[in-house]
Structure 1
Amino acid sequence: MKINLIKGAGILTLAGFLSKILAALYRFPYQNLVGDQGFYAFQQVYPFYSIITTLSLVALPNFLSSLIHSSDKPQEDIRLFFQTSLILSILSFLILSILCQPLAKLMGEERLALPLLAASLPLLLVPFLSLYRGIAQAKSDMTRTAISQIIEQFTRVLLIICAALTFTKLSTNVYTISFLAMLGSFIGGIVALIELIFSSHFRFKGLFTGLTDWRGKVSIIQKFGFSSVVFTFFMVYMLILQMIDVFVVKNALTHSGIISTQAEILKGIYDRGQPFLQLGLVVTTSILTDSLPKVTKEGQISDKITDFVTYLSIALTVGLVILLPEMNDVLFKSHAESLSLQIFVLQIPVISMIQLEHHDLFLAGKNKTSFVILLFGLLAKLVLVYPLSLNFRLIGASISNLISLILILSCYLIYRKKFPKQLLNLRFWLAILTMAVVVLIGNHFLIFSGRITQLFKIFLLTLAGCTTFFSIFKMKIKEILG
């Protein structure tokens, strides 16, 4: 059983890794096809979709799996879970459908209403996807969830790129293309559900009986528990920060005197930071996710994992900050707002360290403390984002994210009365400094004009930077990896 769990966690980690890579990489060709304003129209509604899919991919399947394991009447609890999630999903979809126009207006662009409606459609799939994935995970069959996740992501990416190609051929309306892209995401969920139905032995028999058993449905909601709420809250936390930007940044830019169309283009440039952030986090997040079964068993995150995640996230960020202007030019055909994007990606090590601290508190059962700290970070973001964006535009928006995350990390560290000892490692900083000098010198002397040759230059500089860093810091890395 333990071997299956460890193997299952590895499969889910691999699927998550591939999905995150796909989720980050498709944004580059999408932006190249639809432009910054088209990217803005997509990114404005993306957090809604992503929060919904997190529920059906992680939060609710995990809850159902735990519910089945702890239940005396698993079939009864499966029925109640499905009915409860179905009712809540339909209600949520109806509410978002009614509010899509007012929400779009709050975002600063009423034409986002239709893309927002399409982004809400996956709510209707949540009960079904969660059901099949949760039952499979209860049987320690993580492969089923992993395969459906890859199928869903691959289908949606393919359809999103097709929608972007439509922009270049048939339509010049970026909001129509955003709608089609979000519709593609919904179809991806349908394809994943079809795969789960045909590959599973579970059938819907009896799931719709006792629909008026409201007491049972309330009991299911109560069983979700505060720890599950905190777990889910943390899973979607970065998406909530994005959603704050959705409602504030463009409006702040227009209030600063920028015309609406230009503000949308600037917000689209600001949103370029997301794929860079995702690529920077994908390795450290996957390492932490893969180690969770062992971490849960031991009751705390080991020093080796903490060291590896901290060192790697800082090294990745330094390299990314140095090369970002060139990457911005190669991937997006523009150096525009490179400084704001460099500040944006400084979130990578802070988020990585927050993940470590949050999971440690979660394992220690300090859910209320973690919840309060995270809420404080949201409050800081809400207070800071408008005035900083109004006065400093995209740089201010990036700084608002960074400050709120640093405050969260500081609260965790103060509460736990600790300081990251990794930051005092002089050999590490020597390796970072040497790596930075090598990359900067190489960047100065290697001058290419074409996008392909520039991409090759970035590859060479990345290779040189990695080689330099690990040649100096190799003994410590060997200790961490054991």
Structure 2
Amino acid sequence: MASNLLKGTMILTVGLLLSRILGVLYVIPLYQIVGEKYMALYQYAYVPYSIMLAIAVSGIPIAVSKFVSKYNALGDYATGRKLVKSSMVLMSITGILGFIVLYSLAEPIAQLVIKNDESFFTIKDVASVIKYVSFAVIIVPLMSLIRGFFQGYQHMTPTAISQLLEQIVRILFVLVGAFFVIKVFNGTEKTAISFAVFAAFIGAIAGLIILYWYWKKLKPEFNDLLTSSGNVTSNVSLKEIYKEILIYTVPFALVGIINPLFQFIDMITFNRAMLMIGKTADISNTYLGMLNMYTHKIVMIPVMLATGFSMTLIPLITSYYAKQDFGQVRKSLDQSFQILLFLTLPAALGISVLANEFYHVFYEQSDTGATVLAHYAPVAILFALYPVTTSILQGIDRQKLIILNLLLGILTKLVLNTPLIKTFETDGAILATACGYIVAISLNMFAIRKTLHYKSNMVMRRIFLIMVVNVGMLCLVFIVKWGLEKVFSIDNKFEALLVIIVCASIGAAFYGFVTLRLGLAQKLFGERLTRFTKKIGF
């Protein structure tokens, strides 16, 4: 169990990590090509696009992987194949409908987030980029269906590779297109942003092509499993299949929407709240761009681990739960919570401590931007915990609780956002986001504990130990950073990058040494690490 969880998680994690890093790095040259003000237009398009994508497809890979894994565990490989064959057309229709809806709502959405009399962007500008990005919705539902099918068979590589290739192609189109529009054809920055958001459609086509290649490659294996099972079938009708998929998908469609919806709440309330306290539209747009675009991309890097865990946990927990093997379910939970915090806590806190250097390297030197990043980075821990707790509830068939807890979290964000922004400005939006996630996660954990009678003092002790080691690591990083600042003034990107590399290396070495010496890392990562550490004296 442990090796399957770790192997599947690591495959997805590596792919997602590379994809996430590329998703941050490309902003650096795009920022230089179009400028800070026009990058705000870019995020105005991507937040509603992310919401539509979450509604259309976010639950599909997990729902399909859960469905396929469940019936595969019963020796019924035919039902999963039946699902895929019948769903191809359905997902294509879903994609077209999603495109039509987002394209049609582009102007009403633009009217929600911006006013015509604001100084820089018009409603027409925002509506235009939303229309361009909406084309990607056509492809993604079908792609998500195929990814979910592979994950149900514990094949995580197709998902990881297709996501990585999708990101690479999208970024190349973004940067090359923006460069040619502005530098070669002397076009406007607004046109360059339109090309940049349209790149999501081009990237999706590339991802679909690589998934088709994997389908051709793995189809003989799937056929062998179908034949060796003696064509065992549960005789589940298409109506029953879609009903079961819908039950799985709806909660995770809502789960996938939580982060972009929180951003959308910021979009429709932040500017108005800032105007109420006397801030100009230009300042408000700049601060919102720092929150929803620049810092958010960096903050989400540690969260990719949680995405890998949630995608791997669903089929594993479903399989054990279907067999009524509650011991293995609890072991999965123990391992997941510990490894998740072991890796995400130092990453999130490290970004917070080195926020000034990170913002300088990725964008420019900005005290305001660095402060937003420093305060926002710890929220990544909540971003990481939420999908894992919802995946557990999904795996044990508590979909209604997922929806209820999610809605209460969103309501918390909505109620607190404007008053907190008026009081603390950008920090208020961050605080409202943290409160919303804390409410949803706490309710999820309460439901998990009640349903599975889950309580582990051992996990709590190890989490406390992880926190203590992190405090020690951060103290060391503070000292190293202070010493480096005494040596040079950190006036350019190279010096800022050097500080990040030195501090991160020393911090990681300390963290690794202490956790290995305590035996914590060996207990979390299993026999292979234990054998290796014995050879080097731990």
TM range (shorter): 0.7 to 0.9
Aligned to 1:343: 375
Q: Are the equivalent residues in 1 in contact too, given 2:405–2:444 (CA < 8 A)?
A: yes
Q: Structure 2: how far apart are the matches of 1:64 and 1:284?
A: 19
Q: Sort the Cα spacing of 1:414 and 1:188 in 2 relative to 1 into closer, same or farther, 3 A.
A: closer
The equivalences for 1:271-420 within 5 A come to 271-287=293-309, 289-290=311-312, 293-296=315-318, 297=320, 298-300=328-330, 301-337=332-368, 338-415=370-447, 416=449
1:45 partner SS: helix
Q: Sort the Cα spacing of 1:63 and 1:353 in 2 relative to 1 into closer, same or farther, 3 A.
A: closer
**What displacement does 1:278 show?**
1.5
Aligned to 2:509: 467
**TM-score, normalisation: structure 2:** 0.76
Aligned to 1:175: 190
Q: Are the equivalent residues in 2 in contact too, given 1:152–1:188 (CA < 8 A)?
A: yes
1:299 partner SS: helix
Deviations 1:191-248 (A, max 9, x none): 333445566559xxxxxxxxxxxxx997775343323211232233222222222332
2:278 matched to 1:257?
Answer: yes
2:516 matched to 1:479?
Answer: no
**What displacement does 1:434 show?**
2.4
- The one-letter code sitting in structure 2 at the alignment partner of 1:276 is I
1:236 partner SS: helix
- Alpha-carbon RMSD across the aligned residues, in angstroms, is 3.5
Q: Sort the Cα spacing of 1:426 and 1:451 in 2 relative to 1 into closer, same or farther, 3 A.
A: same
**What displacement does 1:282 show?**
2.4
Q: Are the equivalent residues in 1 in contact too, given 2:49–2:102 (CA < 8 A)?
A: no
Q: Sort the Cα spacing of 1:200 and 1:5 in 2 relative to 1 into closer, same or farther, 3 A.
A: farther
Identity %: 24
Deviations 1:36-85 (A, max 9, x none): 22221111221333455567876335555666767978787556533433
2:207 matched to 1:192?
Answer: yes
1:153 to 167, 182, 186: 167
Aligned to 1:207: none
In the alignment, structure 1 segments of 5+ residues that lack a partner are 203-215
Q: Structure 2: how far apart are the matches of 1:430 and 1:133?
A: 39
Q: Sort the Cα spacing of 1:190 and 1:424 in 2 relative to 1 into closer, same or farther, 3 A.
A: closer
2:269 matched to 1:227?
Answer: no
**What displacement does 1:459 show?**
0.6
Mean Cα deviation higher: 161-170 or 135-144 = 135-144
2:480 matched to 1:442?
Answer: yes
Aligned to 1:209: none
In the alignment, structure 2 segments of 5+ residues that lack a partner are 115-121, 218-236, 321-327, 527-538
**What displacement does 1:35 show?**
2.8
Q: Sort the Cα spacing of 1:174 and 1:395 in 2 relative to 1 into closer, same or farther, 3 A.
A: farther
Q: Sort the Cα spacing of 1:252 and 1:71 in 2 relative to 1 into closer, same or farther, 3 A.
A: farther
Q: Are the equivalent residues in 2 in contact too, given 1:19–1:153 (CA < 8 A)?
A: yes
Q: Sort the Cα spacing of 1:382 and 1:419 in 2 relative to 1 into closer, same or farther, 3 A.
A: farther
- The one-letter code sitting in structure 1 at the alignment partner of 2:30 is Y
Q: Sort the Cα spacing of 1:125 and 1:107 in 2 relative to 1 into closer, same or farther, 3 A.
A: same
**What displacement does 1:186 show?**
0.8
- The one-letter code sitting in structure 1 at the alignment partner of 2:482 is H
1:280 partner SS: coil
Aligned to 2:529: none
2:16 matched to 1:20?
Answer: no
- The one-letter code sitting in structure 1 at the alignment partner of 2:365 is S
2:301 partner SS: helix
